[in-house]
Amino acid sequence: MHRNNLLGAYLRACRERVSPGTVGLEGLGPRRVAGLRREEVALLAGISSNYYLRLEQGRDRHPSAQVLESLARALRLDPTETAHLLALGRPRTREVDNARLVTVPASIGQLLQTLDLPAFVQDEHFDVLASNALARALSPELRPGRNRLLSVFLDPDERALFADWDLVADHLVASFRASLAADAGDQRTTELVDELSARDTRFHQLWERYAVANLVDRPPVRFAHPLVGEFTLTRDNLAIDGPDALRLMIYHAVPGSDDLRKLVRLRDTARSS
């Protein structure tokens, strides 16, 4: 998982994705590597080839923001990818204590129970910490103690719940990587990635792509629910104040839509059961 060289691994993955033609470097002789050569990235970024080599090999782990921004431009990174690169290049600002118990603020727990929409709280490792009844009616895997990555990739019923499972899986892994940044080598993440990589080929392929996705801009999710059939929901992702990087996830439907009517049916079924 390149646990000890997250910045270098990400730079290499981004370098290998850039077509030479997109940066005006076509026709410079045969190529033995995918994407750009290291010296080409260095040239485009205005840094020495030796310095770029040190960055990619992990011998220099904390370049300046100016250097990282130059590399982002050279590698044609979008704003989300650039933010991830900058986060990887920053020294760790907090120690991850895997033994510390993370708790959901009482006010958020109360809010969950008053929301008339499926809602749950997850941490930076996508562990579900709290949920309301409607979320659990949407999926039993949204109950506390479950992990979204393990559920989506390893539980057959959860896979079947998503009409566009491949899209959900792609975005989930890219969001997971983006949420972690420089903490991607902590113990909990290492355990998750090792288990999922060993048990699911598709997860391993997606993780090794080093793609990142915006945590806020999420595509609509098309469900194939066993009780109410197919319907589409939008999921909002709201940061919760505090040191634990918790997020409140809320599913909702377009007002007046058939999707909303099916969500209401699911809510009524959950209340009567």
Please tell me whether residues 116 and 251 are part of one structural domain.
yes
Please tell me whether residues 75 and 127 are part of one structural domain.
no
Domain that holds residue 152: 106-272
Instruction: Give the per-residue pLDDT at 1.
Output: 43
Count the Cβ atoms, other than its own, within 10 Å of residue 59: 11
Instruction: Give the per-residue pLDDT at 98.
Output: 55
Please tell me whether residues 147 and 187 are part of one structural domain.
yes
Q: What are the tokens at 126?
A: 């996508």
- Can you tell me which residue has the tokens 């990235």? 41
Judge whether 99 lies within some domain: no
Please tell me whether residues 221 and 265 are part of one structural domain.
yes
Instruction: Give the per-residue pLDDT at 65.
Output: 93
Please tell me whether residues 253 and 188 are part of one structural domain.
yes
Instruction: Give the per-residue pLDDT at 144.
Output: 97
Q: What are the tokens at 255?
A: 């007002």
Please tell me whether residues 148 and 53 are part of one structural domain.
no
Instruction: Give the per-residue pLDDT at 44.
Output: 94
pLDDT tens sequence for the chain (273 residues):
455 788 999 999 999 999 888 887 765 566 677 789 999 999 999 999 999 999 999 998 889 999 999 999 999 999 999 999 999 988 665 555 555 678 899 999 999 999 999 999 999 999 999 999 999 999 999 999 999 999 999 999 999 999 999 999 999 999 999 888 756 667 888 899 999 999 999 999 999 999 998 766 678 999 999 999 999 999 999 999 988 889 999 999 999 999 999 999 999 988 877
Please give the C-alpha separations between residue 155 and each of 47, 165, 221, in angstroms, as whole numbers.
47, 12, 18
Instruction: Give the per-residue pLDDT at 3.
Output: 59
Phi and psi at residue 229, to the nearest 5°: 85, -160
**Of the candidates 65, 84, 78, which has an alpha carbon nearest to the alpha carbon of residue 182?**
84
Please tell me whether residues 153 and 241 are part of one structural domain.
yes
Q: Which of the listed residues 43, 61, 89 is the one where a domain comes to its end? A: 89
* Cα 221 from Cα 166, distance rounded (Å): 11
Instruction: Give the per-residue pLDDT at 179.
Output: 84
Handedness of CA 17, 69, 124, 163 (dihedral sign): negative
Which residues make Cβ contacts (< 8 Å) with residue 250, sequence separation at least 6?
Answer: 115, 117, 118, 119, 235, 236, 238
Q: What are the tokens at 80?
A: 């989300």
CATH number, domain with residue 230: 3.30.450.180
CATH number, domain with residue 61: 1.10.260.40
Judge whether 95 lies within some domain: no
Please tell me whether residues 146 and 245 are part of one structural domain.
yes
Please tell me whether residues 46 and 176 are part of one structural domain.
no
**Helix (H) and strand (E) counts for the chain?**
13, 5
Instruction: Give the per-residue pLDDT at 90.
Output: 80
Judge whether 124 lies within some domain: yes
Please tell me whether residues 52 and 149 are part of one structural domain.
no
Judge whether 237 lies within some domain: yes
Judge whether 59 lies within some domain: yes
**Of the candidates 96, 154, 148, 141, which has an alpha carbon nearest to the alpha carbon of residue 126?**
148
Q: Which of the listed residues 37, 58, 89 is the one where a domain comes to its end? A: 89
* Cα 130 from Cα 120, distance rounded (Å): 6
Number of independent structural domains in the chain = 2
Is residue 20 a contact partner of residue 31, using CB atoms and an 8 Å limit?
yes
Please tell me whether residues 24 and 111 are part of one structural domain.
no
